[in-house]
Structure 1
Amino acid sequence: MVVNASEKVVELSSADPNKLVSDGNRVLKASEKLVSMLVKPTDTSDYVSFTLDTVDVEIFMVGPNVTLDKIPRLDATNSSMDIDLIGIAKNNHQTRSAAVAFMSYNTMENLLKPDFFNTPNGTVKTMMSTVISATLPKTTNTKLTKPVNFTHRHIREFDPSGSLFCVYWNISEWIVDGCSVLETNSSFTVCSCVHLSTFALIMQTSSRPPERDSLMDLLNWVCVPVGLVFFSLSLLTFALCQWSPRVNNVARINICVSLLLAHLLFLLTQQFLSLIRRQQVLCAVISGVLHFLFLSGFVWMFIEAVLLFICVKNLSQISSINREVLSSGFLCVIGYMVALVVVAMSAVVDPKGHGSEQTMVFKTLSQFVVLGCSWILGFFTNGNKTLEIIFLILNSQQGTFIFLIYCVLNNEVRHFSILLYE
């Protein structure tokens, strides 16, 4: 009768937030008091459960002679709870007993609305689970020995772009203190909490999807494919041209390989983003691969800078080390293993200045892009459209600059081309 009366409270509640909070707290308090009356002493273990239209209740009791050897799981509609009740009972030295009550409310979100969760303006809050309560009735020492895990089955469609929060009810609002997301997928979420209370799962999403920038989209679909073409042409030139033994193209080749694959994967990801977002595992794999490819590209840019320094300084001793130690295999280990180690922890040159002074100035400025210095612009864009456009154009054209400097303007390539023509 009391539970049915609680349902009437839900139906008759007004839109006044203060009234909703007051009614919600009354329903929770009344339900918890009633359920605690069902707890009775036991030497081993005992179990009580019932289901009504508005609430599912499960009560589990253990006594001093309990023989359970694992943490019990309590199940209700769309939710479950794992709690170390035996450990709690052992902490009650006098009685060596404990009881837990687990309740799942079917309509409580109409009172304890997700809007009572404090988030930034312009966001939408959605209740993704039924509201549940967990208490330790008639238990003297209620200190938890281990965090309690709650498994919430999503009662609404999961939005991959949203953020999930495990929250508990703190008299007048939903807060996250002491609770965290342990595991999640499109169907359910596991929350871990260090205390007992009334819990729920709330998803925060943007009030509207971010507007796409048509100009940036156009530049992206024009500049990135152009860069991919010149990365490919550079690799083809490096493969076909006959180079002097003094020339070390290992870094240049791997810059092209890493960035070509990274830009290509990024372009494909943008094309099929709506499909990829639905697969969290695929999203994680693609993010990891992109992280690895771009990071290895940066490492190879650093290696190229070191080799350029050795070449420009013309240091005989270092040049000897370069030939004997900086072999292709050794450079590949550095170029890819550094990136691989960094990714695992987060889950986890021989240009010579020939030609006119103007051509030398162009090659010097172009090295700024080839060595990845233009990526520094990313720290200063901060919504500045002009800098965003410059950033996109320069970094998508690293392949173009590599092709111009090391292929088109390289005397050995020109000489090889003339021999082929003759």
Structure 2
Amino acid sequence: MSYSTMENLLKPDFFNTSNDTVKTMMSTVISATLPKTNNTKLTKPVNFTFRHIREFDPSGSLSCVYWNTSEWIVDGCSILKTNSSYTVCSCVHLSTFALIMQTSCPPESSQLLNLLNLVCVIVGLVSFSLALLTFALCQWSPRVNNVARINICISLLLAHLLFLLTQHLLNIIRPQQVLCAVISGLLHFFFLSGFVWMFIEAVMLFICVKNLSQISSKKREVLSSGFLCMIGYLIALVVVCVSVGLVPEGYGSERCWIKIDKGFIWSFLGPVCVILASNTLLFIKIFISLNSTLKSLNVEVSQMKQTKIMVFKTLAQFVVLGCPWILGFFTNGRKELEILFLILNSQQGTFIFLIYCVLNNEVRHHSVYMYNLDVFTEVHVLILVICDF
């Protein structure tokens, strides 16, 4: 008999060991009995093949255990064979069995890293929220298209919020394999859609720079908001659906993220690399176009300040949208780079809020105007105070 949720009652923590380790249930709990007999001892050992229900850690220690009244013990059981997918246990008696993996406790530095991650993600979520409120409440010029920036904030806000909740409820979510897989699929979709919107933002910035050198009446219109939304989310949805169709068991790792085995992680890294490379080429082309446009501008018209602002936003855009993720490819377990990646990645909302809201003259002028009218609510005033700061 196999019990699909028995590990929630007969927890792996009931496996008492002399060393202080983290214990994880690696299989479903099963019971083996012989009908019409009370004899549980066997003249020859019996073998059980346990399929791993969680991601296998090569550095962990596996134990074949059975339930003895109030605890898991290993007496009479041993491991015959194991790999990343399953383990074969041999026992000389019948009982209720399971497979438990022991891993070393996370060092104190990891706990500090988790605390830093919590603080940084919360700050980033607040910044995303403030940026969305600013985009929604401020009156923008008709020439300003914030569709990509708004959807970047929405995608990354949902992704970071879901990831934060998942990691703090991991002990509850992880035993539910279907829920864990669904959450990892949603995280895949939200983060990937954020990248797609980053690419769309770079394309729109490139079009904007190209239009600087054109006569106003001949400037090309930017794609409609509805079409952009369809592109921004449909591409990410197609990638996730294809990934599910090809490798349905690729979702639901130990931390409810994409599994790194079998190369499935490239369903996320592959599109990320393509988008980062495309953004890099676009930004190079933007700088070339800016330089060409600057030479052809009339010096008497005060274009220098506007050009400097455009260059600053281009540089800031590259830092905000690309550099944190590029850094993630080179961490290789180095704590210093991991901390830097964590801070930069979690503070994308803060960067967006600072660049496009706090340092935006249009927002500042609008805030002064609304102060004079004195018709904003307290929430609106809070945003405007921050903008004026």
Q: TM-score, normalised by structure 1?
A: 0.52
Q: Which residue of 1 aligns with 2:81?
A: 174
In the alignment, what sits opposite 1:401? Answer: 351
CA distance in 2, matches of 1:251, 1:218: 31
Q: Is the contact made by 1:369 and 1:398 (CA closer than 8 Å) also made in structure 2?
A: no
Which consecutive residues of structure 2, in runs of 5 or more, have no partner in the other structure? 1-34, 51-55, 73-78, 89-96, 246-289, 291-302, 373-389
Q: Does 1:288 align with 2:238?
A: no
Relative distance call for 1:271 and 1:120 in structure 2 (3 A) is closer
SS of aligned partner of 2:127: helix
Instruction: Determine the C-alpha separation between the residues in 1 that align with 2:368 and 2:304.
Output: 17
| CA offset digits 1:39-74 (Å, max 9, x no partner) | xxxxxxxxxx9979469xxxxxxxxxxxxxxxxxxx
Name 2:334's counterpart in structure 1. 384
Q: Against the structure 1 CA distance between its residues 233 and 394, is the aligned structure 2 distance closer, same or farther, given a 3 Å change threshold?
A: same
Instruction: Map 1:81-230; keep pairs closer than 5 Å.
Output: 108=45, 122-127=59-64, 174=81, 203=99, 205-211=101-107, 213-230=110-127
Partner of 1:419: 369
**Alpha carbons 1:301, 1:370 under 8 Å: kept:** no
- The separation in 2 between residues aligned to 1:210 and 1:322, in whole angstroms, is 54
Structure 1 residue matching 2:104: 3-state secondary structure: coil
Shift of 1:203: 4.5
Aligned residue identity for 1:408: V
Matched length:
257
1:256 partnered with 2:193: no
Which stretch of structure 1 is more off in the superposition, 357-366 or 283-292?
357-366
SS of alignment partner, residue 62 of structure 2: strand
Q: Aligned partner of 1:331: which letter?
A: L
Displacement of 1:305 = 0.6
- Relative to the length of structure 2, the TM-score reads 0.56
Counterparts of 1:300-339 in structure 2 under 5 Å? 300-314=197-211, 316=214, 321-323=220-222, 326-339=223-236
**Offset, 1:208:** 2.8
Quote the Cα distance in structure 2 between the aligned partners of 1:106 and 1:125.
Answer: 25
How well do the aligned residues superpose, as a CA RMSD in angstroms? 4.0
Q: Which residue of 2 aligns with 1:373?
A: 323
SS where residue 263 of structure 1 aligns? helix
- Per the TM alignment, residue 385 of structure 1 is displaced from its structure 2 partner at its CA by 1.3
Structure 1 residues not aligned, in runs of 5+: 1-48, 56-104, 130-155, 158-171, 182-188, 192-200
Superposed structure 1 runs of 4+ greater than 6 Å apart = 49-52, 111-114, 356-361
- Given that 2:64 and 2:100 are in contact with CA atoms closer than 8 Å, whether structure 1 keeps it comes out as no
Secondary structure of the structure 2 residue equivalent to 1:207: strand
CA pair 339-395 structure 1, distance change in 2 beyond 3 A: same
Structure scoring higher RCO (CA < 8 A, sep ≥ 6) equals 2
Query: One-letter code of the match for 1:124?
Result: S
- 1:207, CA displacement in angstroms? 3.3
CA 1:357–1:300: 2 relative to 1, 3 Å? closer
Give SS of 1:126's match.
strand
Higher CA-based Rg: 1
CA gap of 1:354–1:404, structure 2 versus 1, over 3 A, is: farther
Q: Would you say the 8 A contact 2:65–2:100 is kept in 1?
A: no
> What secondary structure sits across from 1:220 in the alignment?
helix
